């Protein structure tokens, strides 16, 4: 561990500790809040003492053509900004990051925005943004000599952890809420060899139990309470800034579950600004599902001074979280950048997901809250037609194929959820549905079907 270059700072009380003094649950012994990784001296470096921004930007771009394995990673390519390992040779990488930024032509047209993009984190090796965080934190676990790593998960964290643990030769333990995660994700944990326990509690319950376990046994906790996860997950901010030639977009829209990702992206843009690599931060907005919206309620109640946990319900199972660990960090990212926190209904999520599918990209339901949220921000005049907007699509469409099939078959939503047969949203759902059709095995029948559907 590179303790000389980094330390941990408590987000609640500001206490600073050496990296090797962290508790197994990564909570501050003084106030119980979470830590973040801090690199002493970065903020203070002024004038000629600052890192040479031009040289760093050149180096990071140049590494994309390098034959060095570590340079193929979209996380470790930026290693100057995450000096968390004793030796970068210890990094466990699956060539994560360097994900595509797609223009969303049709959605942009519908919304009257010129520049609407999707940063597709579902194009990572295990199909979600979790890989960028896992390469960082699992490498720390390996360097520290742990034999076991563990996480509680709504599915994607466990898939990523199991894969990276397998690559590193470590054992992994997964706790998931029974019957409440998508099959694609569960199959990944099994495939990569994790010990997978389904518990009859929700995600928040799984995390509570795991917190007790890591206090009792030498198992390294890999949920996003682990501050090293966020160091990896901040790097898509660097990729986005680089893609816009270091002019950041006006808006970044992120789904909110346990709220680690929005916190990490906020940290990424903040550090770029502090180091003089970009001039400003994008407005960061966090979108939750209406049935799992504790941060939205917290903003409405007291501008995010406190958070009351909720009982979470949504078909976007990845963000079915009622007591998000990183809520204070996410609230700071929203407040300091002038972003917003809002929620969207099950019907709005399903429409947005189908629209992203119709662009030839696809994503999992939790990712589609970003487009559904953007529609609201646009209606409320918070996003202007000439703004540059980036949606963070967090997971691949194949993660939850059941959801997609149910949508196209028309069995996903209840009448109540889609506002009744005559509602505007029902009409839009009908336009977007593309169920598979049973057709006679003759050319004439297939051609007739094509004609009918045209
Ligand atoms: N989108 C997807 C696809 C996710 O898997 C998650 C979280 C989120 C968004 C929300 O991100 O928690 O950082 O606010 N999934 C976690 C898991 C909780 O266990 O896989 P967040």
pLDDT digits (tens, 9 = 90+) for 360-400: 999 999 999 999 999 999 999 999 999 999 999 999 999 99
- Assess contact for 251 and 299: CB atoms under 8 A: no
pLDDT confidence band for 50 (50 / 70 / 90): confident
**Taking a C-beta distance cutoff of 8 angstroms, is the pair 282, 246 a contact?**
no
Tell me, using a 6 A CB cutoff, whether residue 341 lines ligand 1: no
Tokens of 366: 């939790």
- Give CA 244 to chain center in angstroms: 20
- CB distance 391 to ligand 1 below 6 Å: no
The response to whether residue 157 sits with its C-beta less than 6 Å from ligand 1 reads: yes
Region 287-315 average pLDDT: 98
Rounded mean pLDDT of 102-117? Answer: 97
Taking all residues of the chain, what is their mean pLDDT, rounded to a whole number? 96
Q: Which residues contact 436 (CB under 8 A, 6 or more apart)?
A: 408
> Which of 162, 177, 318 gets mutated to test ligand 1 (max ligand atoms within 8 A of its CB)?
318
List, for residues 415-444, the tens digit of each pLDDT value: 999 988 889 999 999 999 999 999 999 999
What spacing in Å lies between the alpha carbon of 257 and ligand 1's midpoint? 5
What's the CA-to-centroid distance between 323 and ligand 1, angstroms? 13
101-127+229-432: CATH class: alpha beta
Is the minimum distance from the CB of 366 to ligand 1 under 6 angstroms? yes
- pLDDT of 129 reads 98
Give 107 Cα–ligand 1 centroid separation in angstroms: 24
pTM equals: 0.96
Mean pLDDT of 336-348: 98
Pairwise CA distance, residues 314 & 400, whole Å: 14
Ligand 1 atom closest to 233 (CA): 13
At 239, which helix (H) or strand (E)?
helix 235-243
CA distance 303 to 296: 9
Residues 26, 37: Cα–Cα separation, whole Å = 11
What count of other Cβ atoms lies within 10 Å of the Cβ of residue 321? 25
Query: Quick one: pLDDT at residue 454?
Result: 83
Instruction: Name the DSSP class of 222.
Output: -
* E strand segments, 385-440: 388-393
Give the ligand 1 atom nearest the CA of 128: 3
Distances (CA, A) of 95 to 8, 128, 164: 27, 13, 11
Our separate counts of H helices and E strands in the chain read 16, 13
């Amino acid at each position: 561990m590179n303790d000389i270059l980094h330390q941990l700072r408590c987000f609640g009380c500001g206490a600073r500790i050496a990296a090797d003094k962290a508790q197994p649950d990564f909570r501050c012994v003084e106030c119980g809040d979470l830590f973040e990784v801090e690199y002493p001296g970065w903020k203070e470096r002024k004038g000629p003492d600052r890192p040479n921004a031009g040289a760093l930007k050149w180096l990071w771009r140049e590494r994309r053509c390098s034959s060095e394995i570590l340079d193929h990673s979209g996380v470790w390519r930026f290693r100057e900004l995450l000096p968390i390992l004793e030796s970068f040779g210890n990094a466990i990488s699956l060539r994560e990051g360097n994900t595509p930024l797609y223009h969303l032509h049709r959605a942009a047209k519908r919304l009257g925005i010129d520049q609407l993009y999707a940063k597709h984190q579902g194009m990572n090796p295990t199909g979600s943004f979790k890989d960028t965080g896992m390469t960082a934190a699992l490498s720390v676990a390996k360097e520290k000599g742990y034999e076991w790593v563990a996480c509680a998960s709504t599915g994607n964290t466990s898939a990523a952890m199991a894969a990276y643990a397998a690559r590193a030769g470590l054992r992994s333990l997964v706790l998931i809420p029974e019957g409440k995660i998508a099959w694609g994700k569960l199959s990944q944990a099994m495939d990569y060899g994790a010990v997978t326990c389904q518990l009859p509690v929700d995600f928040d319950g799984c995390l509570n139990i795991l917190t007790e376990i890591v206090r009792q046994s030498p198992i390294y906790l890999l949920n996003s309470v682990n501050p090293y996860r966020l160091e990896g997950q901040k790097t898509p901010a660097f990729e986005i800034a680089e893609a816009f030639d270091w002019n950041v977009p006006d808006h970044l829209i992120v789904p909110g579950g346990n709220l680690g990702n929005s916190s990490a992206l906020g940290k990424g843009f903040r550090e770029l600004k502090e180091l003089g690599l970009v001039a400003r931060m994008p407005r960061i907005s966090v979108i939750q599902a209406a049935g799992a919206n504790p941060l939205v309620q917290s903003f409405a109640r007291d501008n995010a001074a406190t958070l009351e946990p909720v009982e979470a319900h949504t078909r976007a199972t990845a963000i079915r979280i009622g007591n998000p660990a990183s809520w204070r960090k996410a609230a700071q990212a929203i407040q300091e950048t002038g972003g917003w926190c809002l929620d969207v209904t099950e019907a709005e999520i399903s429409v947005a997901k189908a629209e992203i599918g119709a662009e030839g990209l696809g994503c999992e339901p939790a990712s589609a809250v970003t487009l559904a949220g953007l529609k609201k921000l646009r209606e409320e005049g918070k996003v202007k037609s000439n703004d540059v907007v980036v949606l963070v699509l967090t997971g691949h469409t194949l993660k939850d194929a059941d959801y997609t099939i149910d949508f196209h078959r028309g069995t996903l939503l209840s009448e109540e959820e889609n506002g009744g047969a005559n509602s505007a949203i029902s009409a839009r759902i009908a336009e977007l549905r593309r169920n598979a059709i049973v057709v006679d095995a003759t050319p004439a029948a297939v051609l007739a079907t094509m004609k009918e559907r045209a």
